[in-house]
């Protein structure tokens, strides 16, 4: 995910030249990480938001899919059921990024 975070800040040319970072590598790393941790809400959210930062036009569809998947996953962890009755609610709503997901997060 580091690649996805450095590219929008440094720009694609500088990120690639100085750090070897590209959006494509970042996406590949997210795919691999999700293979290893398919139930990770945080990973799906982080990759989705990072893809949006790289470019909604190029990666908007993948970002929306990751954010939708994060919303569908059940909350996990000992404190998740205690927080406001529904831990799956995102602190930053997807509409803040210009996405309309048309889904309500599942509540425990």
Instruction: Tabulate helix, strand, coil % of the chain (nearest 5).
Output: 60, 0, 40
Model pTM greater than 0.75? no
Q: Specify the pLDDT at position 91.
A: 54
The pLDDT tens digits of the residues spanning 35-55 come to: 999 999 999 999 999 999 998
Q: Residue 47, Cα to own-chain centre: how many angstroms?
A: 3
Asked if 66 and 44 touch (Cβ cutoff 8 Å), the reply is: yes
Structure tokens at 8: 């929008």
Whether residue 81 has pLDDT greater than 60: no
Please, which pLDDT band fits residue 9 given cuts at 50, 70 and 90?
Answer: confident
Please, which pLDDT band fits residue 28 given cuts at 50, 70 and 90?
Answer: very high
């Amino acid at each position: 995910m580091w690649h996805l975070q450095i590219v929008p800040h440094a720009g694609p040319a500088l990120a690639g030249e100085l750090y070897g970072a590209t959006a494509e590598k970042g996406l590949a790393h997210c795919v691999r990480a999700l293979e290893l941790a398919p139930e990770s809400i945080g990973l799906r959210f982080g990759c989705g938001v990072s893809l949006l930062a790289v470019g909604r036009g190029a990666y908007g569809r993948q970002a929306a899919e990751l954010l939708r998947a994060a919303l569908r996953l059940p909350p996990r962890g000992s404190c998740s059921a205690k927080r406001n009755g529904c831990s799956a609610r995102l602190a930053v709503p997807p509409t803040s990024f210009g996405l309309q997901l048309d889904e309500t997060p599942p509540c425990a």
